[in-house]
Structure 1
Amino acid sequence: MTSQNNPERWDIFCAVVDNYGDIGVTWRLAKQLSAKHRIAITLWVDDLKSFSHILPALDPALPSQIHFGVTINQWSDPLPILYQAGNVLIEAFACELPEQVKTRLISMHQASKLDPNAERPPLWLNLEYLSAESWVEGCHGLPSMQASGLKKYFYFPGFTAKTGGLICENELFEKRDAWQREPQNRLDLFSSLGLSGITADDEVVSVFSYESSTLQALCEAWQNSEHTTHALFPKGRSLNSLQPILPCSVETLTAGTQIKLGNLVIHILPMTDQEGYDKLLWSCDFNIVRGEDSFLRAQWAAKPFIWHIYAQEDDYHLIKLDAFMQLYCNNLPPELAKSWKALNLAFNKEQQELTVSHWQKLNLIGLPLLRHAKQWPIDAINDVDLVSRLVQFVKNS
């Protein structure tokens, strides 16, 4: 048993991909391991500038700093700070470890074979991407023998009891429910973000997606609808899809910009930290999200959503999308499940007319879908979150 005077030390390596996805998940993991389990975490990140967008207090110029109890080190080649092996080493999403780290692991492994009293190498884990596919259960926790003789274990997050679970902070759902019980909270949040003109009865949609022609089609439908829709966009990739209907270039848009097109009002969001993004998702009537981190946070928000999944060769992403939709819609009324799945599929296939048609058919703020969105997080967490399962996995290994 590790004492408080000699805490466990874990290293996590993360290569920032697509700005916020991988680092978003990894940062949540690091914070929870530190706060909930009192583990000394060192997080090595190759792009501190992108990281600072979701952690504004981070100084990209510093090679080492501490935030929320986590030591954050610049990952460069060579490493600017000495790597000292701890109890566990996690490579996030199959990132390639630095050569000097792998050399150190091999050296420790060889020494431990010659001397039983020598320091053993850390438990080596690869944190994989989240998937709802059935094969994940059979691969979760399996070891892979490396050429060096070291073992690397594959840790798969997932939605069932036989997987690695889902990242969810303690009391997150209670905080969300308290926030959503008070309607003024969302109006105050919008005001603090510089979003003006939103009333309590307006429909509000947040959009954090990849480029997609279906975004323009949806915006044109909202523009011509009978009620006001406020679409909240961060400055990023999704806005490129709207260039044909914007009165200015995407490059000139800044946080706080407001563009009115008929009954559609487009708002440009400022960057926010992870807690602020959670509150944004809690406050919108519908969320369009991408990747992994925002995808899961949209589920925890207990609001209807579209998942814009990252496109893969041979449309394999559609298989992953279907696997999740089958799980998510399991307890939905058949007609509602059919409509929600059709909307997500049409959006991801960039079928513009079908996307608009399914959007208009789906009762976006109807009670059945809202009730399901609220119950789903309780069912999906399966009693035990990812961090708790991960710590137990390490103990068992």
Structure 2
Amino acid sequence: MLWDLFCRVIDNFGDMGVCWRLASDLGQRGHQVRLWVDDARVLQWMAPQVSWSADANLGLQTGRGQPGVTVCHWADAEALPDAHPLTPGDVVIEAFGCNLPDAFVARMQRPIPPQWVNLEYLSAEDYVERSHGLPSPVWHGPGAGLRKRFFYPGFTPATGGLLREPDLLARRAAWNTPARQAWLHRHGIPWAPGEGVMSIFCYANAPLDALLTQLAASVQADSPVTHVLLAHGHATELGLAWQSARAPVAEPPPQAPEVTAGAPRPPLSALRLHPLPALPQPEFDHLLWSCDLNFVRGEDSAVRALWAGRPHVWQIYEQDDGVHADKLDAFMDRWMRDWPAPLSAEIRALWRAWNGLGPWPASLPAWQSEGTPWAQHTLDSHQTLLKQTDLVTQLMHFVTQAG
């Protein structure tokens, strides 16, 4: 089938991250996808394999490099002349209520119109099950007489599921200790087995100062080595500002010495911050797989943290009306449903503090090995979630039903 997928890049990377994974997954399954995006600059690092050139068939500048996926400029869909031969595909996806261009919607008026799907944001709240699949007739404008249907990702069989490529589990299972060490060393992190690794991907309002101060105190007391991997952007800016404020003299940090597993470390070098470049999506997955604890944000990275099977802390996108707190509680209720009450309470307190919804805890839950309760129950929840049919499989079934 031919899919037209429309995405607006609002103020963060999550919308584009979800849409690129969706387009790529469909392409890997043999479908053709035209991804219409209003700002393609994010693909320069998210999907650097994409290159732009004139498309003889469409008469437009398009980006190619991912099997089955053609990237198109949103502005071209808004300004299609009447004589242009472009015809909407079998399925048109309006990601996150982005409002399709009128000129494109007008072309959807045909005897058998395409399936029009509004792909909604992810939530664990109860309304998702009630709303998934509901139709929405269009009464006015160029789409009058057409109908769209709502498709809600989610965490239960009554929802649309989560993005998960068919080969993801096999790739994750093959990520052993040598693969982890090789990836970390390739990115300049001199990790040895037994040392803790944490990733931070956050918004600008994350309480990273409190986290790093607590980590610094704990590693100086216990003398383990802890590597903190700072994602490009806010995490790096906040982390380096914290480090600079603690440094008595503004000078470059010393080069990390070669590491021998089990060798003693001086206290001042026990907490190590490692700024990372912006990572393509496959490399971001490898980052999550290589860490003992992941701090993630938004929708796309949160779902990838679930599939990583490692303990994680989610910073939800903050909304002015405060409804993000309810969304966070709903997810914690579902994710930690079968966890022991003391562990659930401890992790919930950390999650709420990281989201500015509660006080910072006196100590962090144990996280630096696969044998901790947090790690074990995370893996249990991960295995339960894997029983759910993935989003693309469900979406393909959804659009082939008359509904």
Same fold (TM over 0.5): yes
Q: Report the secondary structure of 2:244's partner residue.
A: coil
Query: Match for residue 207 of structure 1?
Result: 200
The TM-score with structure 1 as length reference comes to 0.85
Deviations 1:124-174 (A, max 9, x none): 111001110011001000011112121111100000011111111113223
Residues in 1 aligned to 2:145 and 2:36: alpha-carbon distance in whole angstroms: 25
Task: Report the CA distance between 1:350 and its aligned residue.
Answer: 6.0
Residues in 2 aligned to 1:213 and 1:55: alpha-carbon distance in whole angstroms: 27
Query: Match for residue 335 of structure 1?
Result: 342
> Residue 299 and residue 82 in structure 1: after superposition, are their counterparts in 2 closer, same or farther (change >3 A)?
farther
> Residue 102 and residue 375 in structure 1: after superposition, are their counterparts in 2 closer, same or farther (change >3 A)?
same
Deviations 1:1-59 (A, max 9, x none): xxxxxxx21110111233421111111111111222x2221111111111221101223
Q: 1:84 and 2:84 equivalent?
A: no
Query: Match for residue 231 of structure 2?
Result: 234
Query: What amino acid is aligned across from residue 62 of structure 2 in structure 1?
Result: S
Find the partner of 2:160 among 146, 161, 164: 164
> Residue 18 and residue 192 in structure 1: after superposition, are their counterparts in 2 closer, same or farther (change >3 A)?
farther
Task: Report the CA distance between 1:362 and its aligned residue.
Answer: 4.3
Residues in 2 aligned to 1:75 and 1:16: alpha-carbon distance in whole angstroms: 11
Q: 1:305 and 2:312 equivalent?
A: yes
Task: Report the CA distance between 1:281 and its aligned residue.
Answer: 0.4
> Residue 261 and residue 20 in structure 1: after superposition, are their counterparts in 2 closer, same or farther (change >3 A)?
farther
Query: Match for residue 73 of structure 2?
Result: 74
Find the partner of 1:393 among 395, 398, 403: 398
Find the partner of 2:151 among 152, 155, 164: 155
Query: What amino acid is aligned across from residue 132 of structure 2 in structure 1?
Result: H
Unaligned runs of 5+ in 2: 55-60, 246-254, 257-266
Query: Match for residue 348 of structure 1?
Result: 355
Residues in 1 aligned to 2:28 and 2:191: alpha-carbon distance in whole angstroms: 37
Task: Report the CA distance between 1:243 and its aligned residue.
Answer: 5.5
Is contact 2:137-2:146 (8 Å) kept? yes
Query: What amino acid is aligned across from residue 235 of structure 1 in structure 2?
Result: H
Task: Report the CA distance between 1:277 and its aligned residue.
Answer: 1.0
> Residue 310 and residue 383 in structure 1: after superposition, are their counterparts in 2 closer, same or farther (change >3 A)?
closer
> Residue 246 and residue 79 in structure 1: after superposition, are their counterparts in 2 closer, same or farther (change >3 A)?
farther
Query: Match for residue 373 of structure 1?
Result: 378
Deviations 1:334-393 (A, max 9, x none): 111111111101111165xx434252x445534332222223233113341111111111
Query: Match for residue 123 of structure 1?
Result: 115
Q: Report the secondary structure of 1:13's partner residue.
A: strand
The TM-score with structure 2 as length reference comes to 0.84
1:279-294 → structure 2 map (5 Å cutoff): 279-294=286-301
Q: Report the secondary structure of 1:76's partner residue.
A: helix
> Residue 357 and residue 396 in structure 1: after superposition, are their counterparts in 2 closer, same or farther (change >3 A)?
same
Residues in 2 aligned to 1:350 and 1:236: alpha-carbon distance in whole angstroms: 23
Query: Match for residue 57 of structure 2?
Result: none
Residues in 2 aligned to 1:213 and 1:70: alpha-carbon distance in whole angstroms: 35
Q: 1:317 and 2:324 equivalent?
A: yes
Find the partner of 1:39 among 31, 38, 41: 31
Residues in 2 aligned to 1:348 and 1:82: alpha-carbon distance in whole angstroms: 49
Is contact 1:9-1:88 (8 Å) kept? yes
Residues in 2 aligned to 1:328 and 1:364: alpha-carbon distance in whole angstroms: 20
Query: What amino acid is aligned across from residue 292 of structure 2 in structure 1?
Result: D
Query: What amino acid is aligned across from residue 188 of structure 1 in structure 2?
Result: A
Query: Match for residue 143 of structure 1?
Result: 135
Q: Report the secondary structure of 1:52's partner residue.
A: helix
Is contact 1:342-1:358 (8 Å) kept? no
Task: Report the CA distance between 1:301 and its aligned residue.
Answer: 0.3
Is contact 1:126-1:155 (8 Å) kept? yes
Residues in 1 aligned to 2:71 and 2:85: alpha-carbon distance in whole angstroms: 13
Query: Match for residue 273 of structure 1?
Result: 280
Q: Report the secondary structure of 1:371's partner residue.
A: helix
Is contact 1:217-1:356 (8 Å) kept? no
> Residue 221 and residue 137 in structure 1: after superposition, are their counterparts in 2 closer, same or farther (change >3 A)?
same
Query: What amino acid is aligned across from residue 396 of structure 2 in structure 1?
Result: V
Q: 1:246 and 2:246 equivalent?
A: no
Is contact 1:340-1:362 (8 Å) kept? no
Task: Report the CA distance between 1:199 and its aligned residue.
Answer: 2.1
Is contact 2:45-2:278 (8 Å) kept? yes
Q: How many residues align?
A: 364
Is contact 2:53-2:63 (8 Å) kept? no
Task: Report the CA distance between 1:330 and its aligned residue.
Answer: 1.1
> Residue 288 and residue 296 in structure 1: after superposition, are their counterparts in 2 closer, same or farther (change >3 A)?
same
Q: Report the secondary structure of 1:18's partner residue.
A: coil
RMSD value, Cα: 2.3
Residues in 2 aligned to 1:95 and 1:202: alpha-carbon distance in whole angstroms: 44
Is contact 1:339-1:362 (8 Å) kept? no
Give the % identical residues. Answer: 38
